Copies of this chain bind each other. A is one copy, B any other.
Amino acid sequence: MAEQVAHSPDTAGSQRPRRLTAEARKRSILKAARQAFIETGDMNGTTIKAIAERGGISEGVIYRHFESKDQLFYEAVVEPLREAVDELVAATEVVDLEEPLTPERQLQTMNGLYRQLISTLEEVLPLLGLVLFGDPKVGRRFYRKHFAVAMDRLADAWRDVEDRYGFEFESPDLSARAVMGIALVLAMESRHNDLFNRDRAVALISESTIKGFFPVIEPSRRRR
């Protein structure tokens, strides 16, 4: 079906909105919603009407795809944040599965994690600000249901890696929070400071993070 629409000649002309598949329409609504929410900086202050205007569609079209503004906010703002964090966690979960973790690979992995974390956070910074610092009720819910949960999952993934080495990792929950906090400030720095040297920052911060927050990896002690 999507194929067919894509291949059919555009008989509608440039005056009428291009026919989109349901999936593409949904995506374009989500994009318009995201921009509207960020611009207003507030969930409550952003109306479905404003989102419809920004997307050049009617409010009815929006309600055909989304039940409520709450759902739209969730899918446009909360969902991409959740996905971003999921990707980070997934990247950590495969550490040490393909080849044994050496101190060098541990450092490389931390480097990659920070690099990905900083880019992701920089990209979603306005959304993150919106959910964490906008409506206090939204902030509390998002923090507890998503942000804290993501950090706990990151901690679990690290604990799994450490388990394979037979180490006691005293506070992976705090390490995950430390890494997230550091990346958050570096994402702000990267966004606002034109002279920010990301390579230097990532290299030094990775080394310090491992030294301070992670147990020493000794490949010879590997359990598996």
CB-CB contacts below 8 Å: A78-93 with B: none
Cα distance A66–B185 when bound, in Å?
33
Q: Tell me which of A49-57, A101-109, A129-137, A156-164 binds B.
A: A129-137
**Which of B183, B186, B212 is close to A213, meaning CB atoms less than 8 Å apart?**
B212
**Which of B41, B210, B212 is close to A209, meaning CB atoms less than 8 Å apart?**
B212
Cα distance A45–B46 when bound, in Å?
12
Cα distance A133–B128 when bound, in Å?
8
Contacts A143-B188, A171-B204, A192-B140 given; does A135 touch B177 at CB 8 Å? no
Chain B residues with CB under 8 Å of A204's CB are: 170-171, 174
Size bracket of the A interface? 35 or more
Cα distance A60–B78 when bound, in Å?
42
Q: Which residue of B lies closest to A141 (CB)?
A: B192
| Contacting pair B144 A208 (CB below 8 A) | no
Asked if A180 lies at the interface with its beta carbon under 8 angstroms from chain B, I say: yes
Chain B residues with CB under 8 Å of A151's CB are: 185
Cα distance A156–B34 when bound, in Å?
40
Q: Report the minimal beta-carbon distance from A97 to chain B, rounded to whole angstroms.
A: 26
| Contacting pair A178 B208 (CB below 8 A) | yes
**Which of B139, B185, B210 is close to A177, meaning CB atoms less than 8 Å apart?**
B185
| Contacting pair A144 B192 (CB below 8 A) | yes
| Contacting pair B201 A208 (CB below 8 A) | no
Asked if A5 lies at the interface with its beta carbon under 8 angstroms from chain B, I say: no
What 1/0 flags go to A193-224 for Cβ under 8 Å of B? 10000001100110011111100000000000
What 8 A-B pairs come out closest when comparing CB atoms? A212-B212, A129-B133, A181-B185, A181-B181, A208-B212, A143-B192, A181-B182, A211-B212
- Chain A residues engaging chain B, CB cutoff 8 angstroms: 40-42, 45, 125-126, 128-130, 132-136, 139-140, 143-144, 147-148, 151, 170-171, 174-175, 177-178, 180-186, 188-189, 191-193, 200-201, 204-205, 208-213
